[in-house]
Amino acid sequence: MLNDEFRKQAGIARLASDLRTAKIELLSAQCATDRLRLQYSAADIISFGEREALKGAIASAGALCRFFSSLEDQLRQAEQQE
């Protein structure tokens, strides 16, 4: 029983650490995106950017948006129940 509690606490600590790491990595991605947005027009990005890299970035951004939108909805629900 004590071992299960230890595993649970370790899992929670790992989740918190992973969330902090993701936050930093997402901030880095946001900065990279802002650099693109400020330095190049959308038309230039479409015309001269590598199509596969652009499609991959769009797919990644869409997946992130869906994931965090889902978390946001669940967070709102949890806050309403409090």
Q: Where are the alpha helices (DSSP H) in the chain?
A: 2-39, 42-48, 51-81
Q: How far apart are the first and last CA of the chain?
A: 29
What tens digit of pLDDT does each residue of 12-55 get?
999 999 999 999 999 999 999 999 999 999 999 999 999 999 99
Same domain as 1, residue 35: yes
Long-range contacts for 45-49 (Cβ within 8 Å, ≥24 apart)? none
Distances (CA, A) of 61 to 18, 50, 82: 19, 16, 31
**In terms of residue numbers, what domain contains 34?**
1-39
Question: Average of pLDDT values for 1-10?
Answer: 88
Does residue 25 lie within any of the structural domains? yes
Does residue 26 lie within any of the structural domains? yes
Q: What's the CA gap between 34 and 11, in Å, rounded? A: 34
pTM, two decimals, is 0.82
What's the confidence (pLDDT) of residue 72? Answer: 98
Number of domains in the chain: 2
